[in-house]
A = this chain, B = another copy of it.
């Protein structure tokens, strides 16, 4: 069990909304065991999930589901289970990693706008996968290095009116980022005050930080800061996530105490 101040950090993150156990497991494997050959032993996974506040039965059910979905592979080794991402699970984790772990300095600085022809329109989701956020029907915003679909009218901005952020910025995400930002600040305080952070603490904190961050950052295309309103904390969250993860480098799973 974690002690103060780290228990406060865990509480700040673990009480954010929408914590599905299977999704949390996807984060744990994606963060701690993403490489080919990486495994997490059953007892290690159990203590981490327990520290996060997930009951053993809930973890078992979620693991079952992820095995059925082809995300996780489990094999027996003596009395232990060895869990690992499947090839397709690794592929999806690795595809999301640049968005999740990208350094703030690597965030896009320039943007462009697309207008799709009336007959070549694509779904909002397909455009989001290309990195473009919808401003209005047929009109999308994206980082300048995102490749537009064939036939798009591509334009570079020469003005930046205030109504633009107001219109395209998702209000619900703005609120979610504000909450995450507050939680991350509590985590930062806790980490800065902690006399000792064990490998197990580190693993738990990393997984909670990455999980709550990826739930939001993967919901929308990433656009330059100047496209958002002054109150938008998405980019501030990335800065905090990035500095916290560098203070909490990925632990050696063999060092994780099972006591």
Contact = CB atoms under 8 A, between A and B. Distances in A.
Copies in the complex: 2
A99 B183 CA distance: 62
A32 to B, nearest CB: 43
Q: Which 9 A-B pairs have the closest CB atoms?
A: A117-B163, A155-B155, A154-B159, A154-B158, A151-B161, A156-B156, A155-B157, A153-B161, A113-B155
Nearest to A119: B163
Contact of A153 (B117, B152, B153, B157): B157
Nearest to A113: B155
Interface of A: 112-113, 115, 117-120, 135-136, 138-139, 148, 151-161, 163-164, 167
Nearest to A120: B163
B159 A164 contact: no
Given A117-B167, A139-B115, A156 B153 contact: no
Contacts of A163: 117-120, 151
B157 A154 contact: yes
Given A136-B138, A138-B136, A139-B139, A117 B161 contact: yes
